């Protein structure tokens, strides 16, 4: 297992939610965690693209990465 870094503000919101039972920041926590999850998925896809053993797997990972990033087809090579 590796370490995952989150912004300090998200960490503070998580503390308020769990330790102080402050539900007012629940939506912000959800958005922050979704952003972090998206960035983790993108990083994994990029790593797959760079290290996949076959050209076919590299191309599949590259296409999925670009799709998730929202790069239009006309800007791809």
Structure confidence by residue, pLDDT tens digits, 13-39:
999 999 999 999 999 999 999 999 999
Could you tell me the pTM of the whole model? Answer: 0.76
**Strands (E) located in 1-77:** none
3 domain-assigned: no
Q: What is the mean pLDDT of residues 2-9?
A: 93
> How many domains does the chain fold into?
1
Q: Which residues of 3-21 are buried (b: 16+ CB within 10 A; e: fewer)?
A: eeeeeeebeebeeebeeee
Indicate whether 60 belongs to any domain: yes
Report d(CA 26, CA 46) in Å as an integer.
30
- Inform me whether the pLDDT recorded for 1 exceeds 80: no
Closest by Cα among 62, 66, 65 to 52:
62
Residue 33, domain extent? 8-21+28-75
> What is the pLDDT, as a whole number, of residue 48?
92
Report residue 2's pLDDT band, with 50, 70 and 90 as the boundaries: confident
Q: Is residue 1 part of a domain?
A: no
pLDDT of residue 19: 95
């Amino acid at each position: 297992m590796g370490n995952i870094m989150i912004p300090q503000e998200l960490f503070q919101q998580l503390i308020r939610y769990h330790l102080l039972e402050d539900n007012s920041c629940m939506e912000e926590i959800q958005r922050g965690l979704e952003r972090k999850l998206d960035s983790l998925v993108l990083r994994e896809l990029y790593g797959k693209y760079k290290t996949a053993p076959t050209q076919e797997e590299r191309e599949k990972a590259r296409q999925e990465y670009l799709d998730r990033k929202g790069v239009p087809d006309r800007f791809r090579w």
